Amino acid sequence: MKIKEFSLERIQSLYENLVELNLSDSGVHPYNLSDLLNEEQQRALLDIELGYGWTNGSVELRQTIANLYPDKGPDNVIVTNGSAEANFLMVMSLLEKDDELIVVVPNYMQIAGWAEATGVKVIETSLDESKGWVPDISKLQSLVTDRTKMITLCHPNNPTGSTLPLSEMKKLVQFARDNDIYLHADEVYKGAEFDGVEIPSFVDLYEKAIITSGLSKAMAMPGLRIGWLIGLPEDIYASWQRKDYTSITTGAVSEYVASIVLQPDARTKILNRSKQYLIDNLKILSDWVSVNQSWVSFVPPKAGGMAFLKYALDINSTQLAHVFREQLNVLVLPGDVYGLDGYFRVGIGAPTAHLKEGLARISQYVSDNYDIKTSTPV
């Protein structure tokens, strides 16, 4: 099987642990276990038997996750090793060779890359930056053929942090329903909306919606590697059959912690911490963009742990990211990994001191090395 390199993950895995200031992450600065568990829970964790659990996730955890979605039960849920495995299983369960998949870009391109490798035809349609990074639903119908099986998007969006108004979500649902196709949404940033109003899930709106989510982004626990897939029971069962061929099960320790942090009060407390962290850092980034508006701009994100910055410098985004890494010891994510040169992604979930210092180094470098009036090197 031929598969294209997943350039986003490759850049991060190569460099994020080597730089002094990592601004490439899209999540919130993670918790320690001691921040999440009280003394009694910590003692109980030490007594966990490290055996195999339920291969689709414990009944307790699946019910806890199902409680986050109206009218869903354990059979609508499979627990996975991160949302990445959920995406993988979803492709393997619902898409076949020569099916067509509409991908709303920019997006986290794992699904597109894996689907293409398995013989699925991937068709991209772009978000409209001029309208706040929302899809032009009127263009979608022209992409549909009798082979179209699914449309997939990231909502809230990675890398732009945009969200759809409920009216636009309903239009997208109606498009999927009219064409009898699956609507997949990666919802790992759901719960980190800056206005404090959590958007509904697509599975709340559409019978053939299937969503991936997890604890890595809005919940700030990537090290637990807990994700999930929510959908129709028959589709979830099909993904369970595929999981028997992959990781088999998640970790007993991770499932124990997940069952605690996904209880309503704990989840609310964790998400409030994430939102405050992100809102404070977004203010810092917005002020920095204002000062540097001669060469950088952005549509402010509405949710999630990142912002997508447009720059007016005469250099490719991957080259620029490597310059920042090599000369400033700062890692950002180039727009190239989303197929959009002329942008770079900055994580606003980074520690505040890191964000301030990284941005200061970047602006000083640009001031020292570019004629901003012409956007060319000096």
For the chain, the domains span: 7-31+268-366, 51-266
pLDDT of the residue at 135:
86
Q: How far apart are the first and last CA of the chain?
A: 46
Does residue 375 register a pLDDT over 80? no
pTM of the model: 0.94
Burial label for 195, CB within 10 Å (0-12, 13-18, 19+), is: exposed
Contact 297, 130 (CB under 8 A): no
Does residue 34 register a pLDDT over 80? yes
7-31+268-366: CATH class: alpha beta
Q: What is the pLDDT of residues 78-88, one digit of tens each?
A: 999 999 999 99
pLDDT of the residue at 131:
86
51-266: CATH class: alpha beta
pLDDT of the residue at 110:
94
Among residues 320, 318, 331, the alpha carbon closest in space to that of 16 is found at 331
State how far the Cα of 81 lies from the Cα of 167, in Å rounded to an integer. Answer: 33
